[in-house]
Every structure is written in C-alpha cells, then in structure tokens.
C-alpha cells in the first residue's frame, strides 16, 4: 500500500492538493459573496465554491457548488484564473492546500439564500465588496472579473 492509499483525502492536513472550484458571480453591477461557515477562512467573506467531486467536470462542480452555497443557478462564461491557497501551521506543516479554479459567471435563476458551507450570502455593489476585508486573491479575482465583464459587454453586438 502506498502512503496515498493509506490516508483518506482529508481537507485539513492533506496528503495532496485538493481541486476546488469557485466563481466570481455577477448580477448586473453587483458581485456575489458568501460568509464562510467552515475553515479555512471561517467567518470571512469569500467567493462561493468548494471541492470538485470525482467524475464531475470543473464546470459542473462550479454550478453545483454555487447552487448548494447560495441557492442560485449560474452560467459560467469562462475560466477567470487558477490560484493556490496554501495554509501552514505555526510549525510549518501544511494545514490546507487547494488548487482553485475560478470561473466568471452570471446568475440565471434561483433564490439567494445561504446554504451548506455558507452562513450568509449576498450581492454587494462592486465598490462595497472591494472595501471588505478580503483575501488578496479574492479581491484580485473580483477586480479581474469586473474588468472581464466590462470587456465582454463592450464586445457584445448591439
């Protein structure tokens, strides 16, 4: 038996990175954020998302995770970026390691309500969202998503 088969894929203290998916979701000029209910970053505002399941595409995972955490259905438009979240204990051990694939998306339906891993979910005006104490990658992704949405709007045929 290898070390990988002897230890389950725990999210905390993992033996390998976990693939996570998320989305920068816009509803007009507002961006969707959730307040996380579990570690890592418990109680902090974040992009909705979670772990990809076996047999699921990243696109399917993003749609499922946003629905589970917010009650909303989305239409991902493109992969926005891929980032790594690595958190270490004071002793230097890896506590969390996620490779996060973040999509740009728009809402297509549903009723906004916090679910599963979220303790709150709401849309914020862009400037208000960016003024929150966010992980630097979350802030960067929101800014990148807003710029991409503006670019897509200007490229749309009239």
Q: Running along the chain, 158 residues long, what does each successive block of 10 average in pLDDT? A: 44 83 96 92 94 96 97 97 93 92 97 92 97 97 96 64
Q: What is the CATH number of domain 3-153?
A: 3.90.79.10
pLDDT at 48: 97
3-state SS, residue 108: strand
pLDDT at 14: 67
3-state SS, residue 123: strand
Looking at the chain, the number of H-run helices and the number of E-run strands are 4, 7
Domain boundaries, the chain: 3-153
Give the count of beta carbons closer than 10 Å to the beta carbon of residue 39.
12
Look up residue 79 and give its two tokens. Answer: 């992969």
Q: What is the pTM of this model?
A: 0.85
Spell out the SS3 assignment of 4-43.
Answer: HHHCCCCCCCCCCCEEEEEEEEEECCEEEEEEECCCCCCC
In sequence order, which ranges of 7-104 are alpha helices (DSSP H)? 58-70
Measured distance CA(3)–CA(33) in Å, rounded = 37
Look up residue 30 and give its two tokens. Answer: 């507002």
Look up residue 11 and give its two tokens. Answer: 């999210």
Q: What stretch of H or E contains 110?
A: strand 94-110
């Amino acid at each position: 038996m290898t070390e990988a088969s002897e230890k389950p894929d725990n999210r905390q203290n993992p033996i390998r990175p976990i693939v996570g998916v998320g989305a920068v979701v816009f509803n007009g000029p507002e961006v969707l954020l959730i307040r996380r209910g579990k570690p890592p970053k418990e109680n902090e505002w974040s992009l909705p998302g979670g772990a990809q399941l076996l047999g699921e595409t990243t696109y399917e995972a993003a749609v499922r995770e946003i629905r589970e955490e917010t009650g909303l259905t989305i239409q991902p438009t493109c992969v926005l970026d891929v980032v790594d979240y690595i958190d270490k204990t004071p002793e230097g051990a890896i506590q969390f390691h996620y490779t996060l694939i973040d999509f740009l998306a728009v809402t297509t339906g549903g009723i906004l309500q916090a679910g599963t891993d979220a303790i709150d979910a709401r849309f914020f005006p862009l400037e208000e969202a960016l003024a929150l104490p966010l992980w630097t990658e979350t802030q960067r992704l929101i800014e990148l998503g807003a710029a991409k949405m503006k670019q897509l709007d200007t490229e749309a045929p009239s």
